[in-house]
Amino acid sequence: MLKAVTRPAFSETWTFFDGQWQPGNVPIMGARTHGAWLGSTVFDGARTFDGRSPDLDLHMKRVNTSARNLGLLPLVSDDEWSGLAREGIAKFDPSKALYIRPMYWAENGAAGGGVKLDPETTNWCLCIYEAPMPQPGNLSVTLSPFRRPSRDTAPVDAKAGCLYPNNARALAEAGARGFGNCLVPDMLGNITELANANIFMAKDGVVHTPVPNGTFLNGITRRRVIALLRDAGITVQETSLTYDDFQSADEIFSSGNFSKVMPITRIDERDLQPGPFYHKARELYWEFAHAA
């Protein structure tokens, strides 16, 4: 006898699909949907917390850029995305932290099937759900044996769903060795990011972060943190960084939409303390977010 699929209990969720808001994890793809079968999905992720939605407009703009870069049609304008997001946010208790995820995908392949997507069949939804903000704690990292693809091997100029299984296996491999995350190199061995966030380090009073080189997403929160630190008079250098650079860093911290700014407290067997640049970056980001 075939076993029934166990379906997870999701947090409170609202999804805008087919012209209306619907509660819960709405079924939106079938077995023949190109996005489900062959990975023609793009998405973005914004955040609402403490009643604020920092850089919401930039996230909505980026999902349209991702769609174009993957060959999909950006059917929803930037402003329409933002307006729908605010409608959806209003359905939740204002005290809740939320994740806001616009998505596009292709329903069909070109000529009725196959690998090549048909942009004329682009579909979309907006999913918003309760997701508590992680709090700073202990996070260990190591070097991943897996690498970020280059722009001639994968659609790295889009926030595409097909890129994330590589991130997931990097996290799983690091977890199997007792680490919470990992630094992922590019094809040349330079560090690009964590498996799920951008990365910063400080050394001798200067903040360093990998220079965008077409192999990883130049994150919206990353760019915001860089600008805030520079406006505060702190030197931030975007440059090529090796794993050795991180191993000898005075402090390491990450930036990303889901967790915002978080400290790294161990690299391999070396313990680190949350340092002054991490604390300043987090303080500045929270001030920015609550003033937005």
**Going from the N-terminus, what domains does the chain have, and what CATH number goes with each?**
13-130 (3.30.470.10), 140-156+163-291 (3.20.10.10)
Q: What is the pTM of this model?
A: 0.94
112, pLDDT greater than 90 = no
Residues above pLDDT 70, as percent of the chain: 98
236, pLDDT greater than 80 = yes
Average predicted confidence (pLDDT) for the chain:
96
Give residue 8's pLDDT.
75
CA 135 to chain centre: 17
Give residue 114's pLDDT.
83
CB under 8 Å to 79, separation ≥6 — which residues? none
Give residue 113's pLDDT.
72
CA 6 to chain centre: 27
Residues 136-187 have pLDDT tens digits of: 999 999 999 999 999 999 999 999 999 999 999 999 999 999 999 999 999 9
* pLDDT bucket at 42, cuts 50 / 70 / 90: very high
3-class state of residue 14 by DSSP: strand
1, pLDDT greater than 70 = no
Residues 61/80, Cβ–Cβ less than 8 Å: no
* pLDDT bucket at 5, cuts 50 / 70 / 90: low
| Cα separation values, 64 from 71, 161, 169, 188, Å | 11, 14, 27, 30
Q: Name which residue leads in pLDDT, 2 or 61.
A: 61
- What is the pLDDT averaged over residues 253-266? 97
| Cα separation values, 107 from 40, 45, 103, Å | 9, 22, 13
Strand partners, 183: 143, 194
CB under 8 Å to 181, separation ≥6 — which residues? 139, 140, 141, 171, 174, 194, 195, 196, 197, 254, 264
DSSP state of 161: G
CA-based Rg of the chain, rounded to a whole angstrom?
A: 20
Residues 269-287 have pLDDT tens digits of: 999 999 999 999 999 999 9
Other CB atoms within 10 Å distance of the CB of residue 145: 12
135, pLDDT greater than 70 = yes
Using CA atoms, how far apart are residues 18 and 36, in angstroms rounded to an integer?
18
Residues 203/250, Cβ–Cβ less than 8 Å: yes
Burial track 78-90 (b if 16+ CB lie within 10 A, e otherwise): beebbebbeebbe
- What is the pLDDT averaged over residues 4-28? 90
For the chain, where are the alpha helices, taking DSSP H only?
34-38, 56-70, 78-89, 164-176, 220-231, 243-247, 276-291
Nearest to 104 by CA among 67, 65, 141, 57: 67
DSSP state of 51: T
103 membership: H or E segment, kind and range: strand 98-106
102, pLDDT greater than 70 = yes
DSSP state of 148: P
66, pLDDT greater than 90 = yes
Give residue 121's pLDDT.
96
* pLDDT bucket at 69, cuts 50 / 70 / 90: very high
How many Cα atoms occupy the beta-carbon half-sphere of 269 within 13 Å?
0
